[in-house]
Amino acid sequence: MNNLERRLECAKTIAKAAGVFALNMRDNGNIKVSVKNTNDFVTDCDKATEKFIFNAINKEFPNDGFFGEEDDNVEGNGRWVVDPIDGTTNFFRGLPNWCISIAYEVDKYSPLIGVIYVPCSDELYYAMKGKGSFLNGKRINCSNIDDFSKSLIVCVPPHRHKESYNFYIEKMKAIGDSVSDMRSLGTCAQELCYIAAGCLEGYYELFLGYYDFAAGQVIVEEAGGKLTNASRTEPFKDSCCNIVVSNTLLHKKIEEIIFD
């Protein structure tokens, strides 16, 4: 087992353990919710789960870097990119769509490993660059739908940046006019897994943190999909990223709409 394979196996184990940790903490009640920014919530469970993941990774790979949503940031050899609970609002409101997201990269914004665990459905999605994508050990692939009118697309309004609503709603309407239907589940990482598994065909969102999609990026790409920057002027960075994702077959069509 090489170093990358070892990191993947550890990430899978840690993600599942973190999911159990978060579920137990929530089920014990008294989750404290605070506000980071407009419509951007964090719970004490987010912070505790990130610390749980950080400690577990640091024990196995003490020289690795770490970038977490809740500020556990350490420089090192490569870095782990972690969203301890993607879908925090769903989590504390009792909805099932939330997950643990863990990625590892050597070069920034080029993830090599992605692991996403959905505790409420016990779904473990994972991928390693060049090795394919899997759900609970079974190979998954993006859909082969190439007719935009038959596609199911995720469009997420910018609820934390309502100054951009008019621009976004115009693009969202143009997409909606052309597709079969649209969805928004409140968790980017899980929605990217659904693209990788062939349940959805595309995704468009603004103002994401890199931790939201890092793990999902490699899972989508290894399943035959594509993730690109939805901004022509701003490169990817750790915060405020814009992305377009697809099964590859419909990528050009989505980009034609959003860049029009």
All residues at 6 or more sequence positions from 86 whose CB lies less than 8 Å from its CB, including other chains: 98, 99, 100, 101, 116, 187, 188, 189, 190, 211, 212
CA 146 to chain centroid, in Å, comes to: 24
Residues 59, 18 within the same domain: yes
The predicted model scores a pTM of 0.94
Residue pLDDT, tens place only, 129-159:
999 999 999 999 999 999 999 999 999 887 6
The residue out of 107, 140, 173 marking a domain boundary is 140
Q: Which runs of E-coded beta strand occur in 87-189?
A: 99-105, 111-118, 123-128, 133-135, 138-140, 152-156, 181-183
Residues 18, 136 within the same domain: yes
What's the pLDDT at 161?
A: 61
Is 93 strand, coil or helix? Answer: helix
State how far the Cα of 162 lies from the Cα of 165, in Å rounded to an integer.
Answer: 5
Residues 129, 24 within the same domain: yes
Residues 128, 43 within the same domain: yes
State how far the Cα of 174 lies from the Cα of 220, in Å rounded to an integer.
Answer: 24
Residues 132, 187 within the same domain: no
What's the pLDDT at 164?
A: 63
Residue pLDDT, tens place only, 225-256:
999 998 877 777 777 789 999 999 999 999 99
The residue out of 140, 167, 184 marking a domain boundary is 140
Is 31 strand, coil or helix? Answer: coil
User: Residue 200 maps to which CATH number?
Assistant: 3.40.190.80
Residues 119, 235 within the same domain: no
Total of domains in the chain: 2
What's the pLDDT at 198?
A: 98
Q: Which domain holds residue 81?
A: 3-140
How many residues are present in the chain?
Answer: 260
Residues 9, 134 within the same domain: yes
The strand pair at 152-156 and 202-208 is best described as parallel
Is 126 strand, coil or helix? Answer: strand
- The mean pLDDT of the chain is 92
The residue out of 140, 165, 187 marking a domain boundary is 140
Residues 96, 193 within the same domain: no
Residues 152, 185 within the same domain: yes
